[in-house]
Structure 1
Amino acid sequence: MNYTINPGVFELNPRLHFGILIGKGLNNSVSTSLDVDSMRNAENHVRQIIKEEELRSLPIIQEYRNTMEKAGINPNKYPASTEAMLKRVIKGNSLPTINALVDLCNVVSLENQISLGGHDLRDIHQDLSVCFSKGTERFLPFGAKEYETVEEGELVFTSGDIVQTRKWIWRQSELGKMTLDTKDVFFQLVGFEDNEGSSLIRALDSLEKLIKGRFGGTCQRYIVKQGNQNIEF
């Protein structure tokens, strides 16, 4: 299976880096008390280091917002999921517990203030792409049973003509959601540099450790960026 970034995406922001982890043979479970404690600790850490009025000025959040604006997406109406999650936490609200895999992915996202999406591979049957929609794609909203159409020219993450994430990194589909039965996952993280110590590399390291340690799986790891726009896995 291939994963490709359309060259036009890098015209929006040539600094884009996509961190990809393919986790196989994961053993997911309900969240333990330790998992929940990790999430609450991450929430408290965010509240200590980020003020609500400073959220949009964080360099990585600015990069997400600027990239979305260049793609014709209003980041106020369709904020990156990471920004929305951080805002919710900073306001004092706790994230719901879903299952260990979802909750600990949220921990990694909170700790590094980075976009992180996990997609169950059993729902993915065609090549993956970050691209601009043709207008023939369909999207199944989270919790819905009926597909909706996607207008032409929208920046999306797709599997063939099925949209996995709308408005770039705004909202994931019902298809591919991680459940207790999830075994194999395509993880996509979005950052803007891949030097040692960057938020992307720190997040990839943490997630890889979880895949192998907490969930007993195996892992393939890739960086996709300008000049290296395609991988096969």
Structure 2
Amino acid sequence: MYIQHSADIWSAHPELVAGVVAATGITADAEVGARVEEFSAAARARLAAGPEGEFPEIQAWRRAFSRMGLKPTQYRCAAEALLRRLRKEGALPRIHPLIDLCNAISTAYAVPVAALDVTRISKGLDVRLAHGDEVYHTLSGQVEHPGPGEVIFADAAGHAHARRWTNRQSGHSAVRDGTATVLIVMEAMHPSAAGDVPRLVSTLAAELTAVWGGTPATAVLSRSAPRAEFAV
């Protein structure tokens, strides 16, 4: 299993830093409530000082979306959408222990975190511009085709595992109760991303070990190191 960003992505977004964690042994019966609350509380404390739209992490993604020709307040990165919901509702819905933990950590760091079921990915992920013929499955089961030039997570079978980059994740590889092996991707573009993303990777890996055991494999990707491979 591999993940890599295309040269076009690095050329257009040289400030990008991506973190990756690969883990197995995931189960749906783990208890993560206290950990979720700890990270959510950190996010709520930050939101108390100002809305998510003022966070440098979110502003960087808004600029990136604007460069891609998207209206940033219409298409929000996943971290902004979660923070917005947390600010309005005070908590996030519980879905699956891994997703709940990733979502809470995402709000604490204000960085998009995507967890994908490895068994639903063919060979690996290429973060690249869409050709337009890739297949994207919504969480409700509908089939869409990303527009040409849209940034997607693509695999060798032509599945788009994310649309509009960090905006919408595919239902095809969504984590479910039977998911055991996952690839978790974190991406940021704000000025301190080079330091924040490695800390986020370490935090997430430590949480996975504490909850599910094992030693997750990790990597940090940059323009000079654009690809990571994992034995999963």
TM-score exceeds 0.5: yes
| Moved segments of 4+, more than 6 Å | none
Residue 40 of structure 2 contacts residue 105 of structure 2 at CA under 8 Å; is this kept in 1? no
Residue deviations 1:62-121, cap 9 Å, x none?
A: 111111111222221110011010011111342111121111112211221111100000
Question: Is residue 18 of structure 2 the alignment partner of residue 18 of structure 1?
Answer: yes
Question: Is residue 230 of structure 2 the alignment partner of residue 226 of structure 1?
Answer: no
Q: What is the root-mean-square deviation in Å for CA atoms of aligned residues?
A: 1.9
TM-score by length of structure 2 reads 0.90
Residue 131 of structure 1 contacts residue 155 of structure 1 at CA under 8 Å; is this kept in 2? yes
CA distance in 1 between counterparts of 2:228 and 2:151 reads: 20
Distance 1:52 1:162, change over 3 A: farther
Match of 2:154 in 1: 158
Question: Is residue 138 of structure 2 the alignment partner of residue 141 of structure 1?
Answer: yes
Partner of 1:179, secondary structure, is coil
Partner of 1:91, secondary structure, is helix
In structure 2, stretches of 5+ residues that fail to align are: none
TM-score by length of structure 1 reads 0.89
Residue 97 of structure 1 contacts residue 103 of structure 1 at CA under 8 Å; is this kept in 2? yes
> 2:115 aligned to 110, 115, 118, which one?
118
Where do 1:1-233 residues align within 5 Å? Answer: 1-24=1-24, 26-30=25-29, 32=31, 35-51=32-48, 54-144=51-141, 146-160=142-156, 161-192=158-189, 195=194, 198-233=195-230
CA distance in 2 between counterparts of 1:232 and 1:37 reads: 32
Distance 1:46 1:231, change over 3 A: closer
CA distance in 1 between counterparts of 2:28 and 2:183 reads: 18
In structure 1, stretches of 5+ residues that fail to align are: none
CA distance in 2 between counterparts of 1:37 and 1:22 reads: 23
Aligned length: 227
CA distance in 2 between counterparts of 1:88 and 1:31 reads: 24
Question: 1:224 Cα deviation (Å)?
Answer: 1.2
